[in-house]
């Protein structure tokens, strides 16, 4: 799943030479996407989830938390996406 998220993040980057890994931050000072990019990423993951047969819920009480947010890193988002897929399958 992490490859899927990395691919989607890469597609949203203006500067395609920027490295994207599991540790890449999606919120905070070193975030790689602006808020618009983050929403676009969520919309893309929504579409991916629909294709996979579930609904991806990207609302979260901890969305802006550096320690607990599903958006803190690419891999955290991938884990959340996969966990929602498993919960709803």
Partner 1 sequence: MILVTGASRGIGFGIANRFNSLGFDVVGLARTRIDVAFPTFQVDVTNDEEVRRVALNFKKAKTFPAVVINVAGIASMNLALMTPGTKARAVVDTNLLGTMYVCQAFAPLIARAGGGSIINFSSIAVALGLSGESVYAASKAGVETYTRVLARELAGMNIRANCIAPGPIDTELLRGVSDTQIGEIVKQQILPTRFTVDDICDVTEALIDKRLSSISGEVLHIGGV
State the residues that interact with partner 1 by CB under 8 A.
Answer: 34-36, 39-40, 42-43, 46, 50, 55, 59
Q: Give 29 or 55: the residue with its C-beta nearer to partner 1.
A: 55
- Shortest gap between Cβ of 18 and partner 1 (angstroms)? 19
- Shortest gap between Cβ of 59 and partner 1 (angstroms)? 7
- Shortest gap between Cβ of 51 and partner 1 (angstroms)? 12
Q: What is the DSSP string of the chain?
A: -HHHHHHHHHHH-SSTTS---TT--SSSTT-SS-HHHHHHHHHHHHHHHHHHTS------TTTT-TTT-TTSSHHHHHHHHHHHHHHH-
Q: Give 5 or 42: the residue with its C-beta nearer to partner 1.
A: 42
């Amino acid at each position: 799943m992490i490859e899927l998220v990395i691919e989607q993040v890469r597609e949203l980057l203006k500067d395609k030479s920027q490295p994207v890994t599991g540790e890449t931050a999606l919120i905070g000072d070193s975030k790689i996407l602006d808020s618009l990019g983050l929403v676009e990423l969520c919309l893309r993951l929504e579409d991916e989830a629909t294709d996979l047969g579930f609904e991806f819920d990207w609302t979260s009480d901890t969305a802006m938390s550096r320690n607990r947010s599903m958006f803190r890193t690419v891999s955290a988002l991938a884990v959340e996406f996969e966990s929602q897929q498993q919960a709803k399958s």
